[in-house]
Structure 1
Amino acid sequence: MKSITSYIKNNVSQCLRVPFLYLLLISSFFGFSQSEPSLKSEVDATTLKIGEQIHFKVTVNVDSTAQVIFPEGQTFSPLETVEAFKTDTTRKKDRITLQKTYALTQFDSGSYKLPQQRIEINGKGFFTDSLRIEVSNIKVDTVAQKMFDIKPLITVQKSNTNIWKIILAILFVTIIGGLVYWFLYRKKPLTEEEKVALLPPYDRALLELKKLENSKYLIQDEYKQYYSELTDIVRSYLHEDANVSALESTTDELIAKLELRKDAGELDLDKETISQFKKILQTADLVKFAKSKPPVSAAESDRKAVEQIVVKTHEAIPEPTEEELLEQAEYQEELARKQKRKKTLIAISAAVGAILLGMVGFTVYHGPTKVWDTLTAHPSKKMLDNKEWVSSSYGYPPISLETPEVLIRKKTKIPAEAQAKIKEVQTFVYQNKASLFTIATTSTTFNEQEEPDHKKSTEHLIENFEKKGTKNIITKNEEFTTIAGVKGLKTYGSGKFKIPNSKELIKGKYIILSFGGKGFQQQVLFTWLEDDSYAQQIIDRVVTSVEVKTES
């Protein structure tokens, strides 16, 4: 009994003598073990029927300060992601548990491998387990099940992302049309001067004489202005209504013309009226050139006399014959036609000028090359301006990228000598041979689980260029890394490519991106004209969007 007690005392004393540093190390070890993240993945079923869904659940237990990024998009190929549910978060002290669930489906029967998924925790990648999913056909009882006719195709209207351009063009045309209408064709309200100018010569002369009567020229001692307007009124009337060239004639010349018209029987004026008119003109000449100043009563009497001369002259003018009236009507119609043609010419000139001005402004802002390429519908620029780029995954293992046009599946025949090594090749291509523009993806699976030889396969592609007539090929290699961090090989360079159906060679560029793992290889090929800046912009954008799966 004593020995047992002694043993216990000795052990206790030894424990008490354990350095405090050991305790700290032990405590730190347990604390570090608890901070390590843990990852668990599971599915609610490993078998399903075509079109049914399974739920793939990922549970991550990490420190509360950790940053966790779950995969997004179609990363479960060959299964299709239907929905990625919201992440559930559970907190317990300084630890959190994150649970992410994905709904997956498949519409073709067969045995499929659910690939590993990369979960990024604090910048480090952790991978879920890969699983085997069996998809079976649905048995259809064609006897009990009622059959229906195939529904007709429904036309779906394509969304127009360039609607703003159409609206802008319509707005521009509307503004130009509105300006042309407003300044040329709109019936503008007439000013008083325009209304007077549209009156017949006789009525206009009487109206102007009435205005002269109410003027303040005589009160303000402005005789020169008074007589100038008085003679201008009567001279204009004689010129327009009596067809007497009176505007530039001297007093003697005008009187001589009136007497000549009277003697010819073209103007039935008495001598007294002509004599009185001559006297008024002579008085006006003295006032304008000799600074004469007749009495106010004489000036008013001269105005009244001129009014009577206008009336008598109007009465003395013979009535126009039918031929004269017809000639006047034709003249007025021709005058109206000329006026209309003039307005139309002005409208067309204004529209053309506005269009040219807009084109000049657009050219100055964007540059002549871009404007010309827009007008001539440059194929590469048209693709670059396309707002509806396609983001999709091609082949298996999938290659994801964003392109201006969808890539089309192309059947690839495996050579007999390569069938022992290559299991399957899936190729998708978009190509415009005229502009040497190509985007192509190739996913190759091998019979053996071995790493692909990127340099060798790239050499085969370049040899294929040479077989098609490409000369002076320059090749460079460098490492390429996608946005998601997947590393591959980038082979790029230039050469002189052969134009289809021609012996001419043109300078072009190419890029080959190569990725892969055990048993598979993925490659993306680009070719374009060397001086095609729009194609260069397209390729730069597509290259940055390339993503690949890291396993088959």
Structure 2
Amino acid sequence: MCNPTENRFSGLGRWAGTLVLLLGLTFSSLAQQGPKVSTSVDTTAIKIGEQIRFTVTVEADSTSSVIFPEGQTFSPLETVEAFKTDTTRQLDRMTLQKIYALTQFDSGNYLLPTQRIEIDGKGYFTDSLRISVTSIEVDTVSKEFYDIKPLIPVEKNTASIPFYVWVILGSLLLLAVLLWYILRRKPLSQEEEEALLPPYDRALLELKRLENSKYIIQEEYKKYYSELTEIVRSYLEEDVHISALESTTDQLIAKLELMKDAGELKIEDETIRQFKRILDTADLVKFARSKPESSRAEEDRKAIEQIVIKTKEAIPEPTEEELMEQAAYKEEQKKRKQRRRKVQIALATAAVIVLGLIATVFYYGLDNVRNNLIFRSSKDMLEGEWVSSSYGYPPVELAAPDVLIRQEVEISPEEKDVVRDKQVFSFYNPDNLLGVGTSSILLAEPKEPDYQKSIDQILKGFVDKGARNIITKQEEFSSASGVPGIKVFGSAIYQDESGGERIRGKYAIILFGGKGFQQQVVLSWEEGDPYAEEIMDRIINSIDVKIQV
């Protein structure tokens, strides 16, 4: 017979064995379950500057090593913050959750790229998502506007004044001094003021001065009569227009009589005879050392004064033609004086400029002065603030003098079978042919891009815009992080935008790519511009690319 107790324990033993077997199978199935990676976003549509939360959830064995992506791996979206990993455990399994805050400051549709999660050295990839970014409408009706904030005082700049500023200030000061010297009006001396008087007034003034002289008192009759006859002869030469200073007494009297007979001088015969008598007396005093009485000398002076007055009255009034000739002569003299002043000012200005230029050349050197005098906007761009950014997807990173602007491009019907997406960014300065452009292309099939076809298309674009005599060279290239690529470079003759002048310039085409994508950087600049050369070298050295799609 079978013992009931033994049967009961035997049944319990069998049940316990079955339970252990089931638990073992459960643990075995849990231990053999592989890692799981899932993703989610809180929204797929945001406005510019808003954030989305991208959540990555990993289920794996509790002993597994899990590495999440770090840094800017979500381009073209930007990583604002990567939150700490949240970990929960259940038996020998664990669940890891990582949240990323992402944003974008340019409107458009963007592809959130796949991310690589490394679990125990093996890569697991997340799904890619399409994110829509829209612009923000500005409410100009319901929003309240505020006054402009007041100015904030800042500390005075105590930096030293550059040398060229001193050169400019010194040149202006020197120019001002020269102009003042040229244009200044000196006060006229008494002799100069008398010389500007009309001949008649000047003769009467000189006769009055002779009256107050001490020649008669000192019995210096020779000097007295010499000045007396010179005064009247000078007056006749200037106002009557006869050669009186170089004529003898008889010659001068003969000329006066001829003018009287011709009607050019309406003077009485008695006046001429009186004038001859005085001249004869003067000749005797000057050459024969005759010494007349003092009263006679004074009477001769008064007689000469009357002769001057009567001669002035005897001169006929000038005709209208003579007056016009005199006015034209005065106007011509005035114009000559003005022209002389202008020439002096121009010479002074040129001298100041030359001196300033010579001083600047000695201080800065000939090459620097030449490059600064010839205006080149490329110099300002080189020395200005540069922008480092990432463009397109797959991203192209570079530093440039200005931000590259997204260009709206359409995929042509011929490209639709080959190209799935294309993003283009560019910047161009027409003053010096300085252009920078990037393009990121996603191919329709996961195959290597045709680099030669891309190069031919870019060069064809140059030709379509008027470029001629294109010289091409090619070499291997490496990005800043060591990504291999191809560099095509050379020179060409470009045509300006107006279609007129042709300018010799240079270009460089740099290409990267892999299965399913291609990245391009196209540069152009004017040949012979040293600042543009430095700009391009700096851009090329800053180029880097991401080659994970």
Give the TM-score taking structure 2 as reference length.
0.53
Larger CA deviation: 448-457 vs 193-202: 448-457
SS in 1 for 2:245: coil
Is 1:493 the counterpart of 2:490? The answer is: yes
Is 1:513 the counterpart of 2:514? The answer is: no
Report 1:307-326 matches (<5 A): 308-318=303-313, 324=318, 326=320
Is the 2:434–2:532 Cα contact (8 Å) retained in structure 1? no
Distance change (3 Å), C-alpha of 1:147 and 1:302:
closer
Distance change (3 Å), C-alpha of 1:526 and 1:220:
farther
Which whole-Å deviations, capped at 9, do the CAs of 1:210-242 have from their partners, x for residues lacking one? 445666889999988766544432211112233
Distance change (3 Å), C-alpha of 1:354 and 1:222:
same
One of 15, 29, 47 as aligned partner of 1:50? 47
Question: Matches of 1:406 and 1:82 in 2, distance apart?
Answer: 22
Question: Matches of 1:212 and 1:55 in 2, distance apart?
Answer: 112
The CA deviation at 1:204 is 0.7
Distance change (3 Å), C-alpha of 1:222 and 1:136:
farther
1:444 corresponds to which residue?
Answer: 441
Is the 2:207–2:305 Cα contact (8 Å) retained in structure 1? no
Is 1:305 the counterpart of 2:300? The answer is: yes
Question: Matches of 2:272 and 2:504 in 1, distance apart?
Answer: 99
Distance change (3 Å), C-alpha of 1:82 and 1:180:
farther
2:276 corresponds to which residue?
Answer: 275
Is the 2:396–2:544 Cα contact (8 Å) retained in structure 1? yes
One of 236, 244, 247 as aligned partner of 2:245? 247
SS in 2 for 1:384: helix
Quote the sequence identity (%): 31
**For structure 1, which runs of at least 5 residues remain unmatched after alignment?**
1-44, 57-70, 84-101, 117-129, 151-164, 287-291, 375-380
Which whole-Å deviations, capped at 9, do the CAs of 1:306-348 have from their partners, x for residues lacking one? 4531332312443666x62645543443233223432444455
Letter in 2 for 1:267: I
Report 1:141-540 matches (<5 A): 148=141, 183=182, 189-212=187-210, 229-261=227-259, 266-268=266-268, 269-270=270-271, 273-283=274-284, 285-286=286-287, 302=297, 305-306=300-301, 308-318=303-313, 324=318, 326-327=320-321, 329-346=323-340, 349=343, 383-384=377-378, 391=387, 395-396=392-393, 397-402=395-400, 409=407, 411=409, 413=411, 416=414, 419=416, 422-428=419-425, 439-446=436-443, 457-458=454-455, 461=458, 473-479=471-477, 489-494=486-491, 509-515=506-512, 520-527=517-524, 532-534=527-529, 537-540=531-534
Question: Matches of 1:79 and 1:104 in 2, distance apart?
Answer: 6
Which whole-Å deviations, capped at 9, do the CAs of 1:347-371 have from their partners, x for residues lacking one? 555566678778988999789xx89
Question: Matches of 1:81 and 1:300 in 2, distance apart?
Answer: 121
Is the 1:255–1:278 Cα contact (8 Å) retained in structure 2? no
| Count of matched residue pairs | 419
Report 1:49-128 matches (<5 A): 49-53=46-50, 78-79=76-77, 106=105, 108=107, 113=112
The CA deviation at 1:192 is 2.2
The CA deviation at 1:489 is 4.3
2:539 corresponds to which residue?
Answer: 545
Question: Matches of 1:308 and 1:302 in 2, distance apart?
Answer: 10
Larger CA deviation: 396-405 vs 309-318: 396-405
The CA deviation at 1:112 is 6.1
The CA deviation at 1:533 is 1.5
Letter in 2 for 1:427: V
Is the 2:512–2:518 Cα contact (8 Å) retained in structure 1? yes
Distance change (3 Å), C-alpha of 1:195 and 1:114:
farther
Which whole-Å deviations, capped at 9, do the CAs of 1:472-504 have from their partners, x for residues lacking one? 74413143555x8877543323467899999x9
Distance change (3 Å), C-alpha of 1:237 and 1:104:
farther
The CA deviation at 1:254 is 1.5
Which whole-Å deviations, capped at 9, do the CAs of 1:25-56 have from their partners, x for residues lacking one? xxxxxxxxxxxxxxxxxxxx976942455599
1:41 corresponds to which residue?
Answer: none
Is the 2:267–2:314 Cα contact (8 Å) retained in structure 1? no
1:3 corresponds to which residue?
Answer: none
Question: Matches of 1:115 and 1:54 in 2, distance apart?
Answer: 18
Letter in 1 for 2:488: T
Question: Matches of 1:139 and 1:237 in 2, distance apart?
Answer: 96
Larger CA deviation: 447-456 vs 245-254: 447-456
Distance change (3 Å), C-alpha of 1:181 and 1:400:
same
Larger CA deviation: 240-249 vs 471-480: 471-480
SS in 2 for 1:267: coil
User: Of the two, which has the highest radius of gyration?
Assistant: 2
The CA deviation at 1:113 is 4.4
Q: CA RMSD in A?
A: 6.3
Letter in 2 for 1:247: L
SS in 2 for 1:441: strand
The CA deviation at 1:469 is 8.7
Give the TM-score taking structure 1 as reference length.
0.53
Distance change (3 Å), C-alpha of 1:51 and 1:475:
closer
Is the 2:244–2:252 Cα contact (8 Å) retained in structure 1? yes
